Amino acid sequence: MKYFFSLLTLFILSSLNAQQSTTGKQVSTFSIEAPQLKSSKKIWVYLPKGYSTSSKRYPVIYMHDAQNLFDAKTSYVGEWNVDETLDSINAKVIVIGIEHGGDKRIEELTPFRHEKYGGGKADDYLDFIVNTLKPKVDATYRTKTDAKNTAIFGSSLGGLVSFYAAIKYPTVFGKVGCFSPSFWFGRNDMNELLAKTKDFDAKVYFLCGDNEGDGDVIPDMRNVEHWVNTKRCPCKKLNKEVIVKGGQHNEKLWRESFKKAYLWLF
């Protein structure tokens, strides 16, 4: 399954897109040093309607590939419309979007090194999120800081690293949006990790299309979902599988599926 490399090319080409910005007024950005990654990161923040006039605390969703979440100008192949979608349902949630590292994206979003494609530095990336970014977010915004109110969400490699994050940091991330996960990347390593993991409590929304890449997304995803079901009774309904007929590995699928995933998770 090599489709994510074509996506990487599109990410790089996004800088050539001259389209007008579509970012809503609920979205702002800031930069933060990421010593774990020896770089700085641009962070996008969505605050819900009414945040400025409220004293309430809000759940938080951490999302990868922020360039594609809020703004058509920074997303070569179309944005997820996260802000418009959440505004439309008056969602009471904060979204923290983390920009991918360009040519470092594969390294950041993969927990295991691939013999051919490299990668394998997700531990550093997640260390940055958990120990550098989240403390700043919690100190700056009125957040609900417990795992039950903290989600991590992504697609493709972002889906892979989001699921991995829930295993590695079970007391931090209690909800996962796992879209078109690239579980093929380090498949054997993932299976070994699953075999060694005793408990898994996160609520997970698994989604993919039936027309993605080489056709191994569905069986790989179902393998992981089966493992999840061995860790708790399916009667608890803490995970959901959605297979979209005709769905392809692209922003269109993820954009059109985001609202339902959000509503189920929260």
Share of the chain above pLDDT 70, in %: 93
Beta strands 60-63; 27-34: pairing state: unpaired
Predicted confidence at residue 14, as pLDDT, reads 47
Instruction: Give bridge partners of residue 43 from the DSSP assignment.
Output: 30, 98
* pLDDT exceeds 90 at position 105: yes
Residue extents of the structural domains in the chain: 3-265
Predicted confidence at residue 7, as pLDDT, reads 53
pLDDT digits (tens, 9 = 90+) for 146-195: 999 999 999 999 999 999 999 999 999 999 999 999 999 999 999 999 99
Q: Count CB neighbours of 73 within 10 A.
A: 17
Predicted confidence at residue 8, as pLDDT, reads 54
Share of the chain above pLDDT 90, in %: 86
CA dihedral sign of residues 46, 49, 50, 54: negative
Q: What's the whole-number average pLDDT of the chain?
A: 93
Predicted confidence at residue 215, as pLDDT, reads 79
pLDDT digits (tens, 9 = 90+) for 21-54: 999 899 999 999 999 999 999 999 999 999 999 9
Q: What are the residues whose beta carbons fall under 8 Å from the beta carbon of 255, sequence distance 6 or more?
A: 78, 79, 80, 81, 85
What is the fold of 3-265?
Answer: Rossmann fold (3.40.50)
- 36/213: higher pLDDT: 36
The pair of structure tokens assigned to 205 is 């929304």
- Which helix (H) or strand (E) segment holds residue 28: the answer is strand 27-34
pLDDT digits (tens, 9 = 90+) for 42-92: 999 999 999 999 999 999 999 999 999 999 999 878 899 999 999 999 999
